[in-house]
Homo-oligomer: A and B are copies of this chain.
Amino acid sequence: MGSNAIVGQSGGPTAVINASLAGVFEACKMRGAKHVYGMLHGVEGLLDRKYIDLNNKLGSSLEIELLKRTPSSYLGSCRYKLPHYMKDEAVYEKLFAILKELDIGYFFYIGGNDSMDTILKLADYGRQIGSDIRFMGVPKTIDNDLMVTDHTPGYGSAAKYIGSVMKEIIRDATVYGTKYVTIVEIMGRNAGWLTAAAALAKGEDCEGVDMICVPEIPFDVDQFIGRVETMQKENASVVIAVSEGVKLADGRYVCELADDVHAVDAFGHKALTGTARYLANQIARSLDTKTRAIELSTLQRCASHIGSRTDITEAYQVGGAAAKAAFEGRSGEMVALKRISNDPYQCTTELHDVHRVANLEKKVPLSWISKDQTGMTSEFLTYARPLIQAEITPVYIDGLPRHIYTK
C-alpha cells in the first residue's frame, strides 16, 4: 500500500474547487499520508510528470484559508479524456508507473461528469491489474448536473453570484424608465440549473427577472419575441435570463443561428456563446425597444469574492469525506451530498459508484419549471435557497480580495 496521496483538478473552474482541494489535503495529512502531491493540469499534466508536493506549498492555516478563497483551480486543470484501456493500454501503464514511482496509495480527482470518467476508467483498470491504489471522485461543477448528489459544490456560489448580480442588473436596467430589453446569458449547456438561479433575485426589494429560458424547454424565437412584446406592455424594462445552451425543437443551439465560429473541445462539446446577443438583435429588429446583451461569462464561475459559505463548507467537506473513504478502503466511488432537511438545512455525504455519475447529466426537473415555461416554481426556490446562504468574507489586502498563487 503506497503511503502517499495525489490529487488533481479537472474540467471548468469554480469559485470553491480549491476548498475541496484544501479538504482532501488536510484530511490526507491528518490520516497519515506522508506526502500529498498535486497533479498540475490534471491527469494530462501527470502524464508529463508535472506535479508538486503540496506539503511544501500549504504550510500554514492562513495559506489554507486563502486557498479556500481563491477561485479557479490552484493546480491548473485539463479537459483530457482518457482512452479506453482496451484501445490504448500504454497510457495506463505509464500513469500507473508514475503513481508507483510516487508511492501513491490514494488518488483523488475533483471534477464533474467528464472528470468522473477518468476515475471510472482508472479504478476499473486498477482493479483489473490488481492495483491497491484507491481512486476517489470529488464532485465539482457550477453546472449542478451530476447524478446521485443533491447538488454539486460550486453551484451554490455561482447561484449566489447570479442572484446578486441579477438584482443589480435589474436596478440598473430600470433607471431611465424607457423601453429596454436586457438579455443575460448564463452558463449551462444542457441543464438550466444556473439560469434557474436567476429566479432567486425576486423578493421584497426586487421585482425579479421577467423570463427564464432553460435548455430543458425547446426554444422558439418567434414565440420568445411575442412574449417580450406582451411583457413590455406592462413594464418598460424587461430582464431575461437565458441559458447559453437553449436549443430549438430541431436540436440546434440558438447561438448557432448567429454566424460566429464555434469550436469543439476534446469531449465533443461545442463552444456556446452569442445566444443573448443573437436574441437581443432579433428583438431590436422586431420590436420598438433598446436592447442589451450581457454575458456573465467566466465571471460567474470565478466570483469567489461573493462565495456562499454553505457552498465552501460543503466543498471542503466532500474533499475530506473522499479522503476518509479512501483511507477506509473505498475506491471507484464519488462522494455525494445528501440533503437531510430543508428547515433547518442539513446535508451529509454518502458514497456512490462512479459508474452512476460519469458521463451522465442531471437536468432540472420539468415539474420545477412554471406551467408557462418562463419561470421556476417554489419547489426550485426551496431547493436552491439554502445553497446560497451565508458569506465567506474575502481577505481584503490593499482594497482587493487576496488569493494564493505561486507561479
| A interface residues, Cβ below 8 angstroms from B | 13, 40-41, 45, 66, 70-73, 76-79, 160, 163-165, 167-169, 171-177, 200-201, 203, 205-207, 261, 263, 284, 290, 292, 294-295, 297-299, 301-306, 308, 385, 388-391, 396-405, 407
Contacts and interface: CB of A to CB of B under 8 A. Distances in A.
Given A290-B263, A401-B164, A169 B76 contact: no
Contacts of A73: 175
Contacts of A167: 400-401, 403
B70 A303 contact: no
Contacts of A174: 72, 76
A404 B201 CA distance: 14
B168 A299 contact: yes
A125 B306 CA distance: 48
Nearest to A12: B175
A303 B398 contact: no
Nearest to A396: B391
Given A172-B72, A175-B13, A402 B298 contact: no
Contacts of A66: 205
Given A71-B171, A308-B399, A399-B160, A165 B294 contact: no
Nearest to A78: B176
Contacts of A164: 305, 400-401
B71 A172 contact: yes
Given A41-B176, A72-B172, 16 more contacts: A13-B175, A41-B177, A66-B205, A71-B168, A72-B168, A77-B175, A163-B399, A165-B303, A167-B401, A168-B299, A171-B405, A200-B399, A205-B404, A206-B403, A294-B299, A385-B399
B172 A302 contact: yes
Contact of A76 (B168, B176, B292, B400): B176
Given A294-B297, A403-B205, A403-B206, A77 B176 contact: yes
Given A71-B168, A173-B298, A407 B207 contact: yes
A120 B397 CA distance: 41
B13 A172 contact: yes
Contacts of A201: 400
Nearest to A285: B261
A295 B298 contact: no
Nearest to A41: B177
A207 B70 CA distance: 14
